[in-house]
Amino acid sequence: MGPLFPNGLISGDWNLVFAVLIGIAFGFLLEASGFSSSRNLAGVFYGYNFVVLRVFFTAVIVAMVGLLYFNYFGWLDLSKIFILPTFLPSMIVGGVVMGIGFIIGGFCPGTSFTAIVIGKLDALVFAVGLFIGIFFFAEVFPYIEGFYYKGNLGNATLTDVTGISAPWWAFGFTVIALVAFWVSWLIEKKVRKRIKDYKF
Amino acid sequence: MKKSNLNNGTHYINPYLGGVLMGLLMIVTIFISGRELGISGAVKDTVVEAAHIISPTAAKAHPYYGQYIKEGRSPMDSWLVFEVLGVFIGAFLSGIIFKRVRKPFVEHGPNITSRRRLLVALIGGILWGFGTRLGRGCTSGAALSGSSTFSFGGVMVMLLIFASAYLFAWLFRKLWT
């Protein structure tokens, strides 16, 4: 049955209507969870607010397990969904650069958008930076094109690379997430005592 | 002690509830569209569109922009652009419901000024823009969606974003604490 659009069960126009509705739900959940505040987001790196870790890892394990069930029941053909491709060296550098951007800027792209609409000017400036960064990337692209396409593993999954099956990965992530929730809760309790200007 | 201008005492939903709903949303998204949530791709589409409007021939011949320009179709006619439009609407609805929509202001930590916050926000944004293109997506498209669909690159980018931010956290602690 699924995925509906790739299987031709809904038209391209309907797919875009769903895109807007899905976006509305995504934006709502991000804002309602507290991701529209850079100080909430940065808290995960200083131990005073682990909301990012909680929302992020809960979402990942729910989606992983859910997708496996959907596949098992035959509702969703996982061979027809998009798997993010892997280009080793460029994505390693990209991840590191984004991490530095995160600790300096306090947002990631999606969270900055949710902060703009509730009136945060720092988020607006961050978003302007996004456009500049992408424009700059396109300008230097001719010089780094070789690097950009290097180490192409195609649409590699964890199973392709490690030989360990997807259910085991889902199980492993779930265990790690539960331990992380517990440990981060302990850390947060301690660190929050030192922070006085911030009510939780 | 200096005060930050944080809107204190605001109500957020339970993070685990938010996470479960976000996980279910990802399943629904994949079930309907066969693709995943993302953000930075839409910004890229917008930059490509701008380049195409400013100089159609140069953009088509450009090694990066050119690969995203199709005959007879706007680069912004993309699933992600429509989805991001929804993100703005959804976040605004949440802001209204939880009374967080305010007159424009700059949120910053207790030890920095508004001007400094704006400067570092700009630098952070530029780094993110550049990083997302190398990383094939941001926290949404690469880290969250990539990891959820068992993509090797997605998990790698997710771990690197967090590891790198933790590594540099001490250096930039004045910005936040």
A4-18 pLDDT, tens digit per residue, is: 999 999 999 999 999
Kindly state whether residue B99 falls inside one of the protein's structural domains.
yes
Q: How many CB pairs under 8 A join A and B?
A: 514
B80 and B38 in contact (C-beta within 8 Å)?
yes
Instruction: Give me the pLDDT at residue A197, please.
Output: 66
d(CA A169, CA A167): 5
d(CA B40, CA A98): 12
Q: Which residues of A touch B5 (CB under 8 A)?
A: none
A134: closest chain B residue by CA: B129
Give residues 75 to 134 of A whose Cβ lies within 8 Å of B.
Answer: 75-76, 80-87, 90-134
Kindly state whether residue B6 falls inside one of the protein's structural domains.
no
pLDDT, one tens digit per residue, over B32-79 is 999 999 999 999 999 999 999 999 999 999 999 999 999 888 999 999
The domain of B139 spans 15-175
Instruction: Give me the pLDDT at residue A155, please.
Output: 96
A112 and B139 in contact (C-beta within 8 Å)?
no
> Which residue of B134, B167, B172, B175 to mutate against A (max A Cβ within 10 Å)?
B134
H helix count then E strand count, chain B: 7, 0
Taking CB atoms and an 8 Å limit, are B26 and A59 in contact across chains?
A: yes
d(CA A94, CA A96): 5
d(CA B62, CA B7): 46
Instruction: Give me the pLDDT at residue A193, please.
Output: 86
Q: Which residues of A touch B100 (CB under 8 A)?
A: 31, 36, 118
Taking CB atoms and an 8 Å limit, are A87 and B30 in contact across chains?
A: no
d(CA B41, CA B137): 7
Q: Which residues of A touch B95 (CB under 8 A)?
A: 31, 36, 117-118
Kindly state whether residue B10 falls inside one of the protein's structural domains.
no
pLDDT, one tens digit per residue, over A125-171 is 999 999 999 999 999 999 999 999 999 999 999 999 999 999 999 99
Task: Give the gyration radius of chain A's Cα atoms.
Answer: 20
Q: Which residues of B touch A75 (CB under 8 A)?
A: 31
Instruction: Give me the pLDDT at residue B2, please.
Output: 44
Q: Please identify which residue in the block is written with the tokens 């922009």.
A: B65
Instruction: Give me the pLDDT at residue A199, please.
Output: 65
Q: What is the rounded average pLDDT of the residues A52-66?
A: 98
HSE of A134 in the Cβ direction (CA atoms, 13 Å)? 28
Instruction: Give me the pLDDT at residue B1, please.
Output: 37
From residue A200, how far is each of A17, A151, A193 by CA, in Å? 37, 44, 11
Taking CB atoms and an 8 Å limit, are A27 and B87 in contact across chains?
A: yes
* A143 in B contact zone (CB under 8 Å): no
Q: Which residues of B touch A95 (CB under 8 A)?
A: 131, 135, 156-161, 164
Q: Within 10 A of B9 (CB to CB), how many other CB atoms are there?
A: 7
Our CA angle for B13, B14, B19, nearest 5°, is 100
Kindly state whether residue B34 falls inside one of the protein's structural domains.
yes
pLDDT by 10-residue block (mean), chain B, 177 residues: 53 96 98 96 97 95 95 92 98 96 94 96 98 97 97 98 97 93
- pLDDT over 70 for what percent of chain A? 98
Q: Within 10 A of A15 (CB to CB), how many other CB atoms are there?
A: 18
Taking CB atoms and an 8 Å limit, are B139 and A90 in contact across chains?
A: no
Q: Which residues of A touch B104 (CB under 8 A)?
A: 119-121, 124
Number of domains in chain B: 1
HSE of A128 in the Cβ direction (CA atoms, 13 Å)? 12
Nearest-neighbour CA in chain A from B56: distance (Å): 15
Listed by start position, the domains of chain A span: 12-192
Kindly state whether residue B1 falls inside one of the protein's structural domains.
no
Task: Give the torsion sign (CA, B27, B136, B89, A40).
Answer: positive
Instruction: Give me the pLDDT at residue B3, please.
Output: 47
Q: What is the rounded average pLDDT of the residues A92-108?
A: 98
* A200 in B contact zone (CB under 8 Å): no
B151 and A155 in contact (C-beta within 8 Å)?
yes
User: pLDDT-derived band of residue A48, with 50, 70 and 90 as boundaries?
Assistant: very high
- ipTM for the assembly: 0.95
Nearest to residue A121, comparing CAs of B88, B108, B3?
Answer: B108
Instruction: Give me the pLDDT at residue A57, please.
Output: 97
User: B123-157 in b/e burial notation, b at 16+ Cβ within 10 A?
Assistant: bbbbbbbbbbbbbbbbbbbbbbbbbbbbbbbbbbb
* A136 in B contact zone (CB under 8 Å): yes
Kindly state whether residue B143 falls inside one of the protein's structural domains.
yes
Taking CB atoms and an 8 Å limit, are A97 and B135 in contact across chains?
A: yes
pLDDT, one tens digit per residue, over A163-193 is 999 999 999 999 999 999 999 999 999 998 8
- The whole-chain average pLDDT of chain A stands at 95
